[in-house]
Chain A
Amino acid sequence: MRIALLTEGGYPYARGEGGAWCERLVRALPQHAYDVYALSRSPRTEAGGRVEVPPQVGQVRTERLWGEPPARPATGGRADRRARRAAFGWHFGDLAAALAGAPQRAGAGPTAARGRADRFAAGLYGLAETAAEFGGLPDLLRGEDALTALEAACRAPGVRPLLQDITVTELLAVAALLEHQLRPLSLPWYGPDALGSADVCHAVSGGPATLPGLLAKRFCGTPLIVTEYTVRVREALLAHRAAGLTPAVRALLGDYHRLLAGESYRQAALITPGSTHVRRWQERCGAPAERLRTVYPGMDAARFARAGEEAEAEAAAPAAHADPTVAWVGRAEPAKDLIALLHAFRTIRAEEPQARLRVFYAPATDERSAAYLGHCRTLAAQLFPDEAAHPHAVGENPVTFEEIGSPGAPEAADAYAAGDVVLLSSSAEGFPLSLVEAMFCGRPTVSTDVGAVREVIGGTGLIVPPRNPRALADATLQLLRGPERAARLGAAARERALALFTVSTCTRAFRDAYLSVVAHHPVPREPLHDASGAPRPFTTPAESLAPTTLTPCH
């Protein structure tokens, strides 16, 4: 089966997010042939270079969603240009009206919402068809026609006041950013040698990566699978805010991302959110519940196997240590709320004077996290003076900050193993990878109730409210003082993690997903037999002909 992986700002770029996950998926299912269609999000993505792709990856095509558009050779005569402009104006007008939310007809309620999504889809596919017929659109998207259409849509009666007063600068900004986002429309990716040859399109993130998949479905009938581990719509909204865009620009672009996500969820044969949190956003954006199937991201359990086995051996004879150690492992960021951790540890230490806190941090990559780490070190030094066993000994601090890879913890597994209890003190969190790793290591954990923590831990660890150091300290003390309970929780956590969060669980889910999607949504492809007369696989699967659904999927 030929699978087209659609990525944005990720695989095969080394610095992309989700690259490791894609790599594992591709290597774990070598029976399929893969093509990678990558959109790069920023110059930074490209500066990191690309990873080496395994042999089962055929072609790798890339396109930039930033910078100047590729120069398009002027083609066609005057009549062609005029027709192109007219078609563009018509379809872009539809798209702009959908973005501005201009009421199409008198009416409200669900029909109006539906009408908006339909209008967006009509505009989007219309633009794609214009691009396919007359060549790329970048010049038109940046031209005066696009600005006029946007202005007309914003000034239409019934549009919110925020957009009614849009200024010329904002119109230009919206047009430029939309041009970036709509670049996949102009790509030569939809022919029989590219996406047309794929049996399944698998968009490994939501948002812009799904756009080629939507067009492949439109032009070639290729079914689409959307996998989202972070909510792309949410990220886009936050990024717009952080970039300091003006409100009118944010309103239009936010709606673009949301409507695009909604359209991709509607068209997808299968949507696999990575956690309930993602699933909630997807449902909110219009994903049909029957096509959602949560697939947790698979993690490499082998790295933690030794630590996990040691924990099991330890659990056979649980005993409290003389110097109970609390560990924290992760990337130092303000959202991790290390301050609360330090305050909680202060309470713990008041009860258990021998307790130690070891903070293991991943090497800081950016200025911000380095600054935050420095801030936390200062706070720790202020809260906890150095201590020595007797007057002639050199003292040391009960709180240590160690980088993963330093002698104290050569690997992440050692960091987790160093703690009798592993804490997660985040005030905001997506899918807590460090918690899953602690579970693999069989450590008892105390975590704050943020993001997908509750879903991940599922009763095999303690949960406290975020930003509540006292509760965090109390729960930790319970585990430090009850080693039997801690050992039981640790063992249960390890079992849970091995059952749910391993790579094989994840890849097995996608192997089944590919087969069932292809079975139910075969690409209509002629001829049915290849050159030697043998039937071509996946052209007419039995399931696609059955009058009823044979499997529960979709």
Chain B
Amino acid sequence: MRPSHVDESLLLPGGGAPAGFSEEGDDAGPEDSEGGGFARDGLGIAPDAGEGGKGVGLPGQRRGGASGTPGTEGGASPEGRGEVSREKGVAAGEAESARTGGGREEEEGGRRLSPEGGDGASGAGAGSPRTDGGGEPEGVRGPSWADGHGASGAGAGSPRTRAGREPQGSAEPRSEGGRGGAGSTAAGGAAARTGLPRRRGPADPVLGVLHRHHDMLAGAVDMWEVAAGLEARGVTDADARRLRHRDVFGLAEELVARTPRNGRPAPAAGAREPLGFGVRDAALHLMPALALALAAALGLPGPAAVGLLVAAAWPALRRGPLRVTEGALRHLPALGTVALLALARCGPHPVGAWTLAALALTLLPAAWLARWFACSARAQLAPSHSLADFADAVRPRLLAVLAGYAAVLLGLLAALGTFRGSALGALLLVARLLAVHGAARPAAAALAAALAAQAVLLVLLPAVPAGTTEAAACGTPALALTVAALRLLPRAAAHRT
């Protein structure tokens, strides 16, 4: 139906030229009966076309008159085209909203206008998709053009907002409801008369490209990526020239401008990483405590007990959540730990065998807490929108880990009736956590400081009770290290996978 009118209008002298076309559609419309029909067609496709033919004719003419001047300008200079389409969009939008006054239409008009205003240069190609299409030599082009105008006349900007979603001629579905029956009979007759093939596919050839490469375009970030993707899919410069672009890059630019930007997809609430702390891990981390309990029961001497502890803890610390994987200094904290334990058990004021066993037993909760901390921090990476957010979310978890460990340790030691070893345990945990998360240097420094302080205190103040010496010498570095941990561990870099 639409083709019929347009065929004829395009067959008129000068009708095929680009300038001629926009004059035909917009200027000649009111005078010429064909053109008028065309304009009616154009508006008939508008969203509110349900009103019927008569009501539509008038605004159509009015619109044609209103946008007459820009129309001719647009035909004359290609730069002017963006202006034209924008103006047309404005005119059509106003006409529609004035006519119906309905909220929906106003919203429609607004939506159409907004992308055009925002997009700048690309608006030229998009607003009236192929305004320069009239010059195409093939006869098929004529009708397709008319549709192009049908579409762009319908709501000058509508292809833009709808194009991506229903590129196969966004005009057609709408025309069904709104257009009267008279047009269709006329169209049938005209098609038979001229014998030109009915147009298939969209008016705007770029729409076809948009549709074909929709999946690639939807996620593309810039024109470079689109150009690369187009070439990989076999689009060449020759194809781009057929779409009236200089090369693939130009086509890519238009495609990027016309692809609707759907916001960032919501971060997948992916399956939470399983804690992965099973019975085997638990058994592995219980081994040192069992070994030391056996040693205490058998009454093994201190050095042997420490050796046994190191041997039993080795597999757990190599494989479990407390393993240290990176860093140039990663072995230093382990050395410091062994030295501190040896000093505590074999020094001048040794801790009891059962105290050491209790310390070894806290390896199990320490490992579980470390694993929980690592997992929950990693799960926090995706939903966090900034490094500060992430740190704020992780810091309470770190405090919870430290508090939980302290509670377990103090409870165990209280059951034994002593508090010797509590500062040492806390220091060892914080040092290990830091080393696990790539900060071995401060951990090693704190352990060395504790070792030195203990040695100095033992030599200088031998009279001070052993518990006090230890609490001072281990507690102070432990506190300092906790402060460092609260600064270092909530960093995202400490939790990269």
Contact = CB atoms under 8 A, between A and B. Distances in A.
Interface string A110-147: 00000000000000000000000000000000111011
A147 B228 contact: no
A508 interface: no
Interface stretch (A169-177, A289-297, A319-327): A169-177
Interface stretch (A246-254, A345-353, A394-402, A434-442): A246-254
A280 B491 contact: no
Contact of A450 (B236, B326, B384): B236
A243 interface: no
B247 interface: yes
Nearest to A74: B328
A284 interface: yes
Interface stretch (B135-143, B185-193, B216-224): B216-224
A253 to B, nearest CB: 10
A428 B492 contact: no
Contact of B329 (A74, A146, A465): A74
A281 to B, nearest CB: 9
Contacts of B496: 142, 172, 175-176
B208 interface: no
Contacts of A74: 328-329, 441
Contacts of A167: 267, 381-385
A242 to B, nearest CB: 10
Interface stretch (A210-218, A230-238, A373-381, A495-503): A230-238
Contact of A237 (B228, B237, B326, B328): B228
B480 interface: no
B231 interface: yes
A238 B328 contact: no
A241 to B, nearest CB: 7
Contact of B234 (A144, A176, A254, A467): A467
A109 B385 CA distance: 32
A254 B387 contact: no
Interface in B457-497: 491-494, 496-497
A251 B256 CA distance: 14
B385 to A, nearest CB: 6
Contacts of A258: 224
A147 B381 CA distance: 13
Interface string A56-77: 0000000000001001111000
A284 B385 CA distance: 35
Given A73-B328, A144-B492, A284-B249, A172 B381 contact: yes
A386 interface: no
A359 to B, nearest CB: 20
B275 interface: no
A105 B8 CA distance: 56
B224 A233 contact: yes
A467 B236 CA distance: 12
Nearest to B227: A234
Given A237-B224, A247-B219, A143 B493 contact: yes
Contact of A238 (B232, B238, B389, B497): B232
A335 B222 CA distance: 24
B248 to A, nearest CB: 9
Contacts of B368: none
Interface string A327-356: 000000001000000000000000000000
A427 B232 CA distance: 9
B77 interface: no
Contact of A466 (B229, B234, B493): B234
A237 B227 CA distance: 10
Interface residues of B, number: 39
A312 interface: no
B405 interface: no
B228 A238 contact: yes
Given A238-B232, A254-B221, A427-B234, A168 B492 contact: yes
A169 B329 contact: no
A324 B382 CA distance: 62
B494 to A, nearest CB: 8
Contacts of B386: 151, 155, 168
Which of B221, B238, B329, B389 lies at the interface centre, i.e. has the most chain A CB atoms within 10 A of its CB?
B221
Interface in B196-235: 219, 221-222, 224-225, 227-229, 231-234
Interface in A24-64: none
Interface in A424-458: 426-428, 449-451
Given A144-B491, A241-B225, A247-B264, A169 B387 contact: no
A247 B387 contact: no
Contacts of A168: 381-382, 384-387, 389-390, 492
A549 B238 CA distance: 38
B382 A169 contact: yes
A538 B213 CA distance: 53
- Most chain B CB within 10 A, of A151, A171, A176, is at A171
A165 interface: yes
A148 interface: yes
Nearest to B495: A172
Interface in B345-404: 381-387, 389-390
Contacts of B326: 68, 71
B264 A171 contact: no
A147 B225 contact: no
A465 B389 CA distance: 55
A528 interface: no
Given A237-B225, A241-B225, A449 B328 contact: no
A255 to B, nearest CB: 8
Contact of B225 (A148, A250, A335): A250
Contacts of B238: 449, 465
Interface string A251-285: 10010001000000000000000000000100010
A421 B331 CA distance: 69
A162 interface: yes
Nearest to B236: A450
Contacts of A142: 493, 496
Counting chain B CB atoms within 10 Å of each CB, the highest count among A155, A175, A241, A451 belongs to A241
Contacts of B327: 71
A314 B233 CA distance: 38
Contact of A428 (B233, B267, B491): B233
A251 B234 CA distance: 23
B234 A450 contact: yes
Nearest to A453: B236
Contacts of A284: 249
A143 B441 CA distance: 14
Nearest to A68: B326
Nearest to B493: A144
A152 to B, nearest CB: 10
A147 B267 contact: no
Which of A237, A250, A254, A426 is most buried by chain B, counting CB atoms within 10 A of its CB? A237
A88 to B, nearest CB: 13
Contacts of B221: 162, 247-248, 250-251, 254
Interface of A: 68, 71-74, 142-144, 146-148, 151, 155, 162, 165, 167-169, 171-172, 175-176, 233-234, 237-238, 241, 247-248, 250-251, 254, 258, 280, 284, 335, 426-428, 449-451, 465-467
24 contacts: A71-B327, A147-B493, A148-B387, A162-B264, A165-B385, A167-B267, A168-B386, A168-B390, A169-B382, A171-B387, A234-B231, A237-B229, A238-B228, A241-B229, A250-B221, A250-B225, A254-B221, A254-B225, A280-B237, A284-B249, A428-B234, A465-B238, A466-B234, A467-B234
Interface of B: 219, 221-222, 224-225, 227-229, 231-234, 236-238, 247, 249, 264, 267, 326-329, 381-387, 389-390, 441, 491-494, 496-497
A-B residue pairs, 8 tightest by C-beta: A427-B234, A428-B234, A144-B493, A237-B228, A251-B221, A168-B384, A234-B228, A144-B491
Given A237-B229, A428-B233, 10 more contacts: A176-B496, A233-B228, A234-B228, A237-B224, A238-B229, A250-B221, A254-B222, A284-B249, A450-B236, A466-B236
